């Protein structure tokens, strides 16, 4: 029958119930397994199989019960695998499904510190505001992101996740999303550039209605390479400063084709995630990678936006002598008034023990900085892309390079000076540590979920522009967070509201 199915295209619709009984009988016979395995994989690829429930049920039951064949079933298909589990045919590409149990426990650990997202998930389960929609997400694959994906799925969406950075993926989380939560995920820690973009294309191939970005790669790829999918898009969201900058540039140039909500610009995002999250996780990444003492060191922070403020604050708290470099005179003045030394980067590198870039710009640490940099300086980045440190120029200047610790590369210059680059110049807080704490990501991802719902409700009203998260959603997230923390605040009295609305009261 296997031979005939190959050469004579026998269709499954003509398979009788008697054949199904025989099929179930022979599935248990080891001597037929090699032949049957090949045959059944072909059957599962038949396009009409999804409607042929008797055969499908029989085959799925076989695959699910046969533990030895379970791993063999991960066949490669354009870097995606097909996962037959509980009657669901799913494409994915992760490192190792055996990591799923560990990932599930870590996802549950993060969930307990995300009460706002839990409340939104509970409402989504009842209301299904995202029903029949497809969401493609390009985010860091962490335990916190996993809880967002689970919430979106609870809202009725078909969710597909790919990584927004090759080094930020937590492989156990990716495995758990596939095996435990049945959310197709395309992410492997340390994947190369080609694999990164194949994963990106894989989620776009699902023809999404909503995109979720962290850095802007999904929307950028849609506009440059997959324009045929744009008409299907309701809108997108953007998690970080880098992506918002890209989309505002697209809007300015008149090329943005659908609305994008800048989640990064929500107060409950950048005042907490960017400042407290980046501050803590960046220091965490540096310490895990180097095991060095910060107290008494000269610690240079490039950029004094909300992320830079957080890093400077935490480094100062660890006893470091913090130096800030800036190009914005207002931010430079603010840094000085906050008690930090301020100087050009070319001067700061001469005394720096540590340098962290958090600007969202290119070549913040460049060739002329390396030429005068202090011997033994440790350089890292907490901006989104790996472009803030000009590693290509450093490699040209170096006589040798070696990996001296996990996430630490040592470059030796011609004059014998040594410079250390953490996490290949990528996000040190995610590559060398675990990213931001769940307590702050709770608010950021609550904004993501509510923004997706907002896009659906207002799909006929929004123009192809970059929008801020509506204040009512922003304040609702803050209110829910305070309630979860058991904190109560005052409310304006009617008299106070009247006073604030009046222009007639004076001296």
Residue 507: band (very low, low, confident or very high) from pLDDT cuts 50, 70, 90: confident
Greatest Cα pair distance, the chain, in angstroms, is 97
Report the chain's mean pLDDT, rounded to a whole number: 88
How many helices and strands (H and E) does the chain possess? 23, 18
Instruction: Assess whether pLDDT exceeds 50 at residue 5.
Output: no
- Assessment of whether the complete model's pTM goes beyond 0.85: no
For tokens 């190959």, the residue is 6
Region for 213 from its dihedrals, namely left if φ exceeds 0, alpha if ψ lies in -120 to 50, beta otherwise: beta
Q: What is the mean pLDDT of residues 219-240?
A: 96
182 vs 175: CA distance, rounded Å: 10
Residue 364's SS3 state is: coil
Q: What are phi and psi of 187, to 5 degrees?
A: -165, 130
CATH number attached to the domain at 274-431: 3.40.50.720
Residue 506: band (very low, low, confident or very high) from pLDDT cuts 50, 70, 90: confident
% of the chain with per-residue pLDDT over 70: 82
Residue 385: band (very low, low, confident or very high) from pLDDT cuts 50, 70, 90: confident
Structure token pair of residue 62: 């076989």
Residue 239 near residue 256 (C-beta atoms within 8 A): no
Tens of pLDDT, residues 107-145: 999 999 999 999 999 999 999 999 999 999 999 999 999
Residue 161's SS3 state is: strand
Instruction: Assess whether pLDDT exceeds 90 at residue 62.
Output: no
Least confident of 263-267, 272-276, 349-353, 503-507: 503-507
Residue 89: band (very low, low, confident or very high) from pLDDT cuts 50, 70, 90: low
What pLDDT score does 39 carry?
A: 57
Which residues share a beta bridge with 162? 138, 186
Q: What is the mean pLDDT of residues 305-323?
A: 98
For tokens 């960017």, the residue is 274
What pLDDT score does 64 carry?
A: 44
Instruction: Assess whether pLDDT exceeds 70 at residue 71.
Output: no
- Whether domain 97-269+438-484 has CATH 3.40.50.1480: the reply is yes
Structural domain boundaries of the chain? 2-73, 97-269+438-484, 274-431
Q: What is the mean pLDDT of residues 217-238?
A: 96
Cα 404–chain centre separation: 28
Q: What is the mean pLDDT of residues 46-50?
A: 44
Q: What is the mean pLDDT of residues 86-99?
A: 80
Least confident of 33-47, 263-277, 376-390, 402-416: 33-47
Instruction: Assess whether pLDDT exceeds 80 at residue 53.
Output: no
Residue 481 near residue 117 (C-beta atoms within 8 A): no
Instruction: Assess whether pLDDT exceeds 80 at residue 12.
Output: no
Q: What is the mean pLDDT of residues 91-97?
A: 92
Structure token pair of residue 25: 């009988």
Residue 13: band (very low, low, confident or very high) from pLDDT cuts 50, 70, 90: very low
Residue 437 near residue 212 (C-beta atoms within 8 A): no
Same-fold call for 97-269+438-484 versus 274-431? yes
Instruction: Assess whether pLDDT exceeds 60 at residue 422.
Output: yes
What pLDDT score does 27 carry?
A: 53
Residue 74: band (very low, low, confident or very high) from pLDDT cuts 50, 70, 90: very low
188 vs 89, which has greater pLDDT?
A: 188
What pLDDT score does 131 carry?
A: 97
All residues at 6 or more sequence positions from 141 whose CB lies less than 8 Å from its CB, including other chains:
161, 163, 168, 169, 170, 173, 174, 177, 185, 187
All residues at 6 or more sequence positions from 426 whose CB lies less than 8 Å from its CB, including other chains:
165, 166, 167, 168, 381, 386
Instruction: Assess whether pLDDT exceeds 90 at residue 443.
Output: yes
95 vs 78: CA distance, rounded Å: 15
What pLDDT score does 295 carry?
A: 99
């Amino acid at each position: 029958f296997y031979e005939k199915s190959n050469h004579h295209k026998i269709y499954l619709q003509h398979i009788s119930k008697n054949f199904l009984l025989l099929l179930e009988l022979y599935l248990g016979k080891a001597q037929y397994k090699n032949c049957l395995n090949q045959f059944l994989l072909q059957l599962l690829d038949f396009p009409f199989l999804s409607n042929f429930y008797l055969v499908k049920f029989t085959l799925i039951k076989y695959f699910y019960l046969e533990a030895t064949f379970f791993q063999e079933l991960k066949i490669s298909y354009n870097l995606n695998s097909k996962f037959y589990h509980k009657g669901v045919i799913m494409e994915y590409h992760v490192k190792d499904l055996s990591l799923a149990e560990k990932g599930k426990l870590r996802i549950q650990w993060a969930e307990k510190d995300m009460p706002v997202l839990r409340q939104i998930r509970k409402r989504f389960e009842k209301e299904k505001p995202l029903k029949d929609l497809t969401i493609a997400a390009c985010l860091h694959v962490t335990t916190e992101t996993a809880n967002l994906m689970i919430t979106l799925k609870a809202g009725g969406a078909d969710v597909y996740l790919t990584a927004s950075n090759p080094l930020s993926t937590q492989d156990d989380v990716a495995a758990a999303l596939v095996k435990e939560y049945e959310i197709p995920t395309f992410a492997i820690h340390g994947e190369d550039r080609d694999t990164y973009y194949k994963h990106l294309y894989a989620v776009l191939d699902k023809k999404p209605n909503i995109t979720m970005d962290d850095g802007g790669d999904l929307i950028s790829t849609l506009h440059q390479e997959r324009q045929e999918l744009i008409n299907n898009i309701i809108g997108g969201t953007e998690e970080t400063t880098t992506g918002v900058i890209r989309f505002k540039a697209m809007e300015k140039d008149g090329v943005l084709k659908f609305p994008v909500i800048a989640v990064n610009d929500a107060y409950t995002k950048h005042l907490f995630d960017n400042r407290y999250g980046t501050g803590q996780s960046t220091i965490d990444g540096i310490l895990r990678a180097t095991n060095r003492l910060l107290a008494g060191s000269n610690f240079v922070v490039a950029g004094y936006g909300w992320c830079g403020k957080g890093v400077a604050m935490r480094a100062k708290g660890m006893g470091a002598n913090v130096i800030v470099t800036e190009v914005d005179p207002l931010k430079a003045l603010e840094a000085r008034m906050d008690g930090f030394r301020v100087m050009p980067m070319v001067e700061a590198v001469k005394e720096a023990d540590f340098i962290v870039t958090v600007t969202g710009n290119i070549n913040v640490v460049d060739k002329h900085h390396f030429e005068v940099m202090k011997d033994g300086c440790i350089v890292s980045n907490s901006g989104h892309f790996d472009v803030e440190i000009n590693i290509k120029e450093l490699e040209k200047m170096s006589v040798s390079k070696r990996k001296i610790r996990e996430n630490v590369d040592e470059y030796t210059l011609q004059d014998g000076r040594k410079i250390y680059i953490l996490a290949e110049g990528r996000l040190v807080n995610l590559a060398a540590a675990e990213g931001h704490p769940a307590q702050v990501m709770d608010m950021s991802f609550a904004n993501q979920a509510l923004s997706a719902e907002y896009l659906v409700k207002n799909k006929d009203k929004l123009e192809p522009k970059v929008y801020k998260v509506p204040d009512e959603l922003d304040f609702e997230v803050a209110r829910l967070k305070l309630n979860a923390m058991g904190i109560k605040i005052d409310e304006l009295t009617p008299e106070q509201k009247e006073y604030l609305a009046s222009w007639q009261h004076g001296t």
